Structure 1
């Protein structure tokens, strides 16, 4: 989701001939990258005034400007989340659910919890999405909040590429079953994706695989998300190899179909 325009850079300045800028913003998503950001600021300081910001520094997020720190096509229509999931930093940084005053056009929706918005807001979002192609809900769909009305709005979209749900806790299974039960009547598995959190304290490879298989059996196409704590504690090679298997559709689809 990173920006792709000519003034977006990744890492150190490229070569000796670089343009001068009035301001250079270094956006940092994860706290464990702050040391790297400081080093980048030192190097980029030769080309303009540097400012470091982003979620890693507790930025609560304000009104959304398309193309700023994310690629064009991405849109964010709300901030925060009413839930207090133990593994998620969003409520701490952005607070409770906040609907942004202006909905910007885009076909990739990246709200934290779009489904927690009021229907007044959702109707505006869906009206905007009716004009988009290849709509993706890459985040923000909480299974427990997906009712038939929401599914009907999804069905009405002229072009839906994919939507992502989550199976992060054991108690998330029942809402996932209900939501997917509604969705799979109208959308194929390839469009119903599901993040499955793995590798947190107390988790095992066996438990994680059971959840991933269950997500498949429910009717989704799962994707293993390997847990990282605030200290970016290194996960074992075993966990990394396991995650790799469950992020490659060609591998796990074959495994599921040949059971």
Structure 2
């Protein structure tokens, strides 16, 4: 029997598909990404983003009962069976070339391939699931429930590399956070805390432990709502004692329940703290101004011109004003 897999929209290797692949290969089955003109007994697809629902609907029309789709982008209630969930990921499933082809941004082909090779060789997984928060814009509490531990750091190491990609949704809420960071340091691992950390829970002990491990990239966190301002600022200042602000990145949610003035305020406040913001538009909201704002911020164009001087937005303002008047 041949099992087909479809990764609908992941930018990095899809952990669920890697576990499905590992499980069926151990059963003696052939597993591969779906190829044209090939027959499959069963197909598994995974979608991360809700914007991909239409792609999933097209897959159902094409494959019918043969396909099973999971992932937050399709069904937040669908989970892997325990026997698959606790399988070791198949680190041979993705090639570096496949991941490099999904990368965006201004990079040479060589740099993309280098980064992709790091990613496919890295260990990947969760040591905890769920979250202590219940933010209205987030799927995690509905999908994963209350915070609970599911594995240890040693369980997600890939022997090929000393890099681990940690998918935990809220590591600073973990009672074992410092112990895990100490283990990462003692094992000589380099960590990518992929889902960020809850900066409102930052204290000197956690920040010091964070500062003693090697990070694959910037340490990131979020400032989603204006009501969080005092705690966010306090957490950033605490973290900055141990990790310089230029190594931080703050994801900033816009288009949810903040005004543009509040979005600009958060951007300026973060820059005052020497932290790089990264704008995320809620549900890909179709707002011309927010799209230009996100590009101005995320591409670091603000370092060369002010928002008022940003030419693409200056040209788009007339259309924006007309749309809003209608």
**Is the pair's TM-score, using the shorter chain for normalization, greater than 0.5?**
yes
Q: Of the candidates 62, 66, 71, which is equivalent to residue 54 of structure 1? A: 71
Offset of 1:195 from its aligned partner? 0.5
SS of match in other structure, 1:141: coil
SS of match in other structure, 1:86: coil
Q: Of the candidates 159, 165, 171, which is equivalent to residue 108 of structure 1? A: 165
Alpha-carbon distance between aligned partners in 1 of 2:89 and 2:182, rounded to the nearest angstrom: 18
Matched residue, 2:228: 172
Q: Of the candidates 233, 241, 248, which is equivalent to residue 299 of structure 2? A: 248
Max radius of gyration: which structure?
2
Is the Cα contact below 8 Å between 1:64 and 1:75 reproduced in 2?
A: no
Offset of 1:40 from its aligned partner? 2.0
Offset of 1:236 from its aligned partner? 1.8
Instruction: Label 1:152 to 1:186 Cα distance change in 2 as closer, same or farther (>3 A).
Output: closer
- Taking structure 1 as the reference length, the TM-score comes to 0.78
Offset of 1:113 from its aligned partner? 0.6
Give per-residue Cα distances to partners, 1:187-207, cap 9 Å, x unaligned.
Answer: 233311100111124x33222
Alpha-carbon distance between aligned partners in 1 of 2:87 and 2:193, rounded to the nearest angstrom: 17
Structure 1: which 5+ runs fail to align?
Answer: none
Offset of 1:96 from its aligned partner? 0.8
Alpha-carbon distance between aligned partners in 1 of 2:133 and 2:251, rounded to the nearest angstrom: 17
SS of match in other structure, 2:249: strand
Q: Of the candidates 12, 22, 25, which is equivalent to residue 2 of structure 1? A: 12
Matches within 5 A, 1:62-141: 63=86, 65-66=88-89, 72=120, 73=122, 74-103=124-153, 104-105=156-157, 106-119=163-176, 122-124=178-180, 126-128=182-184, 130-131=186-187, 134-141=190-197
Give per-residue Cα distances to partners, 1:82-139, cap 9 Å, x unaligned.
Answer: 11112112111111101113441252222111111112x6413541454455422232
Give per-residue Cα distances to partners, 1:14-34, cap 9 Å, x unaligned.
Answer: 544x4x555421112234433
Alpha-carbon distance between aligned partners in 1 of 2:138 and 2:256, rounded to the nearest angstrom: 12
Matched residue, 2:250: 194
SS of match in other structure, 1:225: strand
Matched residue, 2:55: 36
Offset of 1:65 from its aligned partner? 4.5
Alpha-carbon distance between aligned partners in 2 of 1:88 and 1:64, rounded to the nearest angstrom: 27
Pairs aligned (count): 242
Q: Of the candidates 217, 220, 224, which is equivalent to residue 272 of structure 2? A: 217
Offset of 1:44 from its aligned partner? 5.3
Instruction: Label 1:227 to 1:128 Cα distance change in 2 as closer, same or farther (>3 A).
Output: same
Alpha-carbon distance between aligned partners in 2 of 1:177 and 1:200, rounded to the nearest angstrom: 20
Alpha-carbon distance between aligned partners in 1 of 2:87 and 2:141, rounded to the nearest angstrom: 18
Alpha-carbon distance between aligned partners in 1 of 2:246 and 2:87, rounded to the nearest angstrom: 29
Structure 2: which 5+ runs fail to align?
Answer: 1-10, 22-30, 95-118, 158-162, 307-326
Instruction: Label 1:53 to 1:60 Cα distance change in 2 as closer, same or farther (>3 A).
Output: closer
Aligned-residue Cα RMSD (Å) equals 3.2
SS of match in other structure, 2:278: strand
Matched residue, 2:321: none
Alpha-carbon distance between aligned partners in 2 of 1:205 and 1:67, rounded to the nearest angstrom: 44
Normalized per residue, the structure richer in helix is 2
SS of match in other structure, 1:235: coil
